[in-house]
């Protein structure tokens, strides 16, 4: 799974939700919890959610975190 970081230091990645759904989430620096990216939809498979996040990250000038 890809992870991205924006200029503010917020981390973004796709995570599993309740049931069998996937969505991009973000974590602010120093926070423990992850919040849903409101502008992106819930998806039935991880690949679609990953595609959503990739487009979102590119549009917002985020950098991909190298593992």
Distance of alpha carbon 5 from alpha carbon 45, whole angstroms: 23
Q: What is the pLDDT of residue 66?
A: 80
Instruction: State the average pLDDT over residues 54-60.
Output: 97
pLDDT digits (tens, 9 = 90+) for 7-49: 999 999 999 988 889 999 999 999 999 999 999 999 999 999 9
Q: How many CB atoms lie within 10 A of CB 4?
A: 20
Nearest to 52 by CA among 64, 40, 36, 34: 40
Q: What is the pLDDT of residue 19?
A: 86
Q: What is the pTM of this model?
A: 0.92
Q: What is the pLDDT of residue 1?
A: 80
Residue 56 has pLDDT above 80, yes or no: yes
Torsional class of 59: left (φ above 0), alpha (ψ -120 to 50), beta (otherwise): alpha
Per the document, the length of the chain is 67
């Amino acid at each position: 799974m890809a992870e991205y970081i924006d200029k503010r230091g917020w981390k973004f990645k796709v995570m599993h939700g309740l049931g069998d759904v996937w969505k991009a989430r973000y974590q602010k620096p120093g926070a423990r919890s992850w919040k849903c990216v409101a502008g992106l939809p819930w998806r039935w498979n991880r690949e679609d959610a990953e595609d959503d996040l990739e487009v979102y990250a590119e549009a917002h000038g985020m950098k991909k975190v190298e593992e």
